[in-house]
Amino acid sequence: MRGFLRSGAAWLRAYFSGCSPLPPLPPLVPTGTAFQKAVWQQIAAISPRTTTTYGQIARVLGMPGASRAVGQAVGANPFPILIPCHRVLAAGGKLGGYSSGLRRKRWLLAHEGLARIG
C-alpha cells in the first residue's frame, strides 16, 4: 500500500508541476460495475491536452445512445485526476459536470493548456 501511495503522490507532484512525460501511474483497480470500469478505461486512455465527449465514449463502447449513462459513470470515478475525467466534455465542447466542481475542472483543463474550453 505504501508503494502505491508513494507512486501516486509522485505522479501528482509531477502532474501539478507540469512535468512531461509523467511517471507511470501505479495500477488502479477501482471498484465499480462492468460498465463503469469500461468507461473509466476509456477515460484513462485520454492523453493530456486532449478531450473527448460523453457521446464519443458511448460510441466507442458500442452504445451510442448511452451518453447519460457514461456521464453517470464519469461522475462515479473514484480517482478523478488519476483517471482524468476532467478531459470529458459535454456535446459541443461544453464543460458538462465534474465531481469536484466546475471551477476545478476549468483549472485542470487550463493547467493542461486547454484554457479556451468551457
Mapped onto helix, strand or coil, the DSSP state of residue 89 is: strand
CATH topology of domain 31-111: Arc Repressor Mutant, subunit A (1.10.10)
Q: Which of 106, 76, 84, 74 is nearest to 25 (CA)?
A: 84
Identify any residues that bridge with 52 across adjacent strands, giving them in sequence order.
88
Identify any residues that bridge with 108 across adjacent strands, giving them in sequence order.
none
Read off the DSSP letter of residue 87.
G
Record the pTM.
0.89
User: Which residue intervals of the chain are DSSP H helices?
Assistant: 2-17, 34-44, 54-60, 67-75, 102-111
- Determine which one of 70, 85, 108, 109 is catalytic: 85
Q: What is the pLDDT of residue 32?
A: 96
Which residue is associated with the grid cell 485542470? 108
85 is catalytic: yes
Contact status, residue 39 vs residue 57, Cβ threshold 8 Å: yes
Predicted confidence pLDDT, tens digits, the chain (118 residues): 677 788 888 889 999 998 888 888 878 889 999 999 999 999 999 988 899 999 999 999 999 999 999 999 999 999 999 999 999 999 988 998 888 899 999 999 999 988 666 5
